[in-house]
Amino acid sequence: MNRRVCRVALALLAPAPLAGQSLLYRSPNMGGTWVPDAGVVQFNFLHRFYVAPSAGDHKVTNFPTFTLAAGLGKGLDLGLHYATNSLLITSPYTPNETELFARWRVWGGADGSPGFAVSFTPAYNFAAQSVDGDVQVDWNWQRLTLAGSIRMTQHGLGSDQKARAAFAEGLVLRATRYIAFSGDVASFLNPTVQAAWSAAVNFQIPGAPHTFSLQASNAGTNTIQGASIASPFGKVLYGFEFTIPLHLKRFGPWFGKETAPAATGDAGTAAATIDVRSMAFRTDSVTIQAGQTVRWSNADPLIHTVTFEDPGVAGSGEIPVGGSYAKRFDMAGVYHYHCTPHPFMKGVVVVK
Ligand SMILES: [Cu+2]
């Protein structure tokens, strides 16, 4: 296997960041107990569709739901679900469904933390003109997530409009760190309403905070009401969801706020500078005199480290994206080092 392929293969094994909401911890029709961190806006795009089977036609009807949720800190967020082809209110037909919601995670840690998490989600659905709400409990244990929620709606659903409370149960099974299978069922305590179900295979994109899913469901939209009732359309919809956390701090440069990358380690002029780029120390061997300094500059969009094989030699810790680390070598010797998250990245400093 050539070296580059080897590097890519090893990079895939590096820990996946969980900096945003992950579909590996939530089934398609469950709101989840996730709340974005303060300063993070979560953007999720759910797109379901139906392909009319009529020969030579294959007209695609789309049912998208956009989720935007801003983390406020202290386990709180404020969000919006917006669906442009809702099947919730058919008389009179109301195609646009907007739901404003707040979520308060009263118990439990960040998305994917082991153990229990509990959240309250009060909401207002403008299409249904209904005050809705949901209490969800998640339980994460190794590869498994079990979720249960109780949903209440002010305005009843179903032909007799009497369905006001629904129970939803969800399950996620993580086959690997990057792939999970999930499903859920939500049903109102009323026989005039058909239960909503969904099933999905979910993927974490390696090295990115994004996840996506491929899914099937009989429900159209991802609001509390929309995810609790089978669409009157009576068809299975297929679709995908993509989750994108937007870290507001990253957009500083748009507004002229260039943050100086962190420089750590020893001060002074470096006798040698090593570019860290494309998952490699570009100069993998440098020779200096005792008392001189070497600087490593991280030009990758990933964190790297300079970690010496000799545990008695202090290394860099994490070198942030765009940051650098400098070390002065006072004793002659041969100093081998590697990067802790990417152990295939190796280099050596020879001190005469
Ligand atoms: Cu590295």
CATH number of domain containing 220: 2.40.160.40
The domain boundary residue, chosen from 251, 282, 307: 251
Q: Is the pLDDT of residue 277 over 60?
A: yes
Sign of the CA dihedral 278, 280, 285, 286?
Answer: positive
- Ligand 1: centre distance to CA 279 (Å): 6
Q: Do the beta carbons of residue 305 and residue 281 sit within 8 Å?
A: no
Residue 59 forms part of a structural domain: yes
- Ligand 1: centre distance to CA 346 (Å): 9
Q: What is the average per-residue pLDDT within 109-125?
A: 91
The domain boundary residue, chosen from 190, 216, 251: 251
- Ligand 1: centre distance to CA 338 (Å): 8
- Ligand 1: centre distance to CA 249 (Å): 23
Q: Do the beta carbons of residue 46 and residue 200 sit within 8 Å?
A: no
- Ligand 1: centre distance to CA 349 (Å): 17
The domain boundary residue, chosen from 251, 284, 307: 251
For residues 94 and 159, membership in a common domain is answered with yes
For residues 130 and 88, membership in a common domain is answered with yes
Q: What is the average per-residue pLDDT within 198-213?
A: 90
Residue 180 forms part of a structural domain: yes
Q: How confident is the model at residue 90 (pLDDT cuts 50, 70, 90)?
A: confident
Q: What is the average per-residue pLDDT within 306-317?
A: 92
For residues 316 and 170, membership in a common domain is answered with no
Q: How confident is the model at residue 241 (pLDDT cuts 50, 70, 90)?
A: very high
- Ligand 1: centre distance to CA 299 (Å): 11
User: How many Å apart are CA 225 and CA 153, to the nearest integer?
Assistant: 7
Q: Is the pLDDT of residue 258 over 70?
A: no
Residue 258 forms part of a structural domain: no
The total of structural domains in the chain comes to 2
User: How many Å apart are CA 264 and CA 11, to the nearest integer?
Assistant: 25
Q: Is the pLDDT of residue 267 over 80?
A: yes
- Ligand 1: centre distance to CA 287 (Å): 22
Percentage of the chain modeled with pLDDT above 90: 61
Q: How confident is the model at residue 259 (pLDDT cuts 50, 70, 90)?
A: low
Residue 34 forms part of a structural domain: yes
- Ligand 1: centre distance to CA 20 (Å): 22
- Ligand 1: centre distance to CA 167 (Å): 46
Domain that residue 291 falls in: 263-351
Give phi and psi for 284, each to the nearest 5: -85, -5
pLDDT in tens, 30-53: 988 999 988 889 999 999 999 888
For residues 177 and 100, membership in a common domain is answered with yes
Q: Is 271 exposed, middle or buried (0-12, 13-18, 19+ CB in 10 A)?
A: middle
Q: What is the pLDDT of residue 145?
A: 95
Residue 284 forms part of a structural domain: yes
Q: What is the pLDDT of residue 300?
A: 86
Candidates 209, 206, 141; CA nearest to 177 is 206
- Ligand 1: centre distance to CA 250 (Å): 21
Count H helices and E strands in the chain, helices first: 1, 23
For residues 65 and 208, membership in a common domain is answered with yes
Strand 272-277 with 292-298, pairing: parallel
Q: How confident is the model at residue 103 (pLDDT cuts 50, 70, 90)?
A: very high
User: How many Å apart are CA 81 and CA 66, to the nearest integer?
Assistant: 6
For residues 230 and 296, membership in a common domain is answered with no
Q: What is the pLDDT of residue 4?
A: 54
User: How many Å apart are CA 228 and CA 194, to the nearest integer?
Assistant: 9
Give phi and psi for 25, each to the nearest 5: -130, 15
- Ligand 1: centre distance to CA 336 (Å): 15
Residue 124 forms part of a structural domain: yes
Percentage of the chain modeled with pLDDT above 70: 92
For residues 155 and 78, membership in a common domain is answered with yes
- Ligand 1: centre distance to CA 38 (Å): 28
- Ligand 1: centre distance to CA 263 (Å): 17
Q: Is the pLDDT of residue 20 over 50?
A: yes
- The mean pLDDT of the chain is 88
Q: What is the DSSP letter of 248?
A: G
Give phi and psi for 94, each to the nearest 5: -125, 95
Q: Do the beta carbons of residue 181 and residue 12 sit within 8 Å?
A: no
- Ligand 1: centre distance to CA 109 (Å): 28
Q: What is the average per-residue pLDDT within 26-33?
A: 92
Q: Is the pLDDT of residue 320 over 70?
A: yes
- Ligand 1: centre distance to CA 209 (Å): 18
Instruction: Lowest mean pLDDT of 53-62, 162-171, 205-214, name the range.
Output: 53-62
For residues 165 and 286, membership in a common domain is answered with no
- Ligand 1: centre distance to CA 79 (Å): 36
Q: Do the beta carbons of residue 26 and residue 34 sit within 8 Å?
A: yes
- Ligand 1: centre distance to CA 343 (Å): 7
Q: What is the pLDDT of residue 10?
A: 42
Candidates 90, 154, 83; CA nearest to 122 is 154
- CA-based R_g, the chain, Å: 26
- Ligand 1: centre distance to CA 220 (Å): 43
Candidates 238, 222, 242; CA nearest to 98 is 222
For residues 272 and 298, membership in a common domain is answered with yes
Candidates 25, 28, 22, 24; CA nearest to 184 is 28
- Ligand 1: centre distance to CA 352 (Å): 27
Higher pLDDT, 107 or 6: 107
For residues 78 and 176, membership in a common domain is answered with yes
- Ligand 1: centre distance to CA 345 (Å): 6
Most confident of 255-259, 294-298, 318-322: 294-298
CATH number at 347 reads 2.60.40.420
pLDDT in tens, 131-153: 999 999 999 999 999 999 999 99
- pTM for this entry: 0.70
Q: What is the pLDDT of residue 251?
A: 78
Residue 97 forms part of a structural domain: yes
- Ligand 1: centre distance to CA 11 (Å): 9
- Ligand 1: centre distance to CA 257 (Å): 27
For residues 159 and 226, membership in a common domain is answered with yes
User: How many Å apart are CA 128 and CA 156, to the nearest integer?
Assistant: 9
Q: What is the pLDDT of residue 85?
A: 93
For residues 204 and 274, membership in a common domain is answered with no
- Ligand 1: centre distance to CA 304 (Å): 4
- At residue 164, the 3 state secondary structure works out as strand
Residue 36 forms part of a structural domain: yes
- Ligand 1: centre distance to CA 9 (Å): 14
Q: What is the average per-residue pLDDT within 248-277?
A: 82
Q: Is the pLDDT of residue 352 over 50?
A: yes
- Ligand 1: centre distance to CA 325 (Å): 13
Instruction: Lowest mean pLDDT of 28-37, 67-76, 174-183, 205-214, name the range.
Output: 205-214
Residues β-bridged to residue 145: 140, 172
Q: Provide the b/e sequence for 107-123 (b: ≥16 CB within 10 Å).
A: ebebbbeeeebebebbb
Instruction: Lowest mean pLDDT of 165-169, 222-226, 249-253, 308-312, name the range.
Output: 249-253
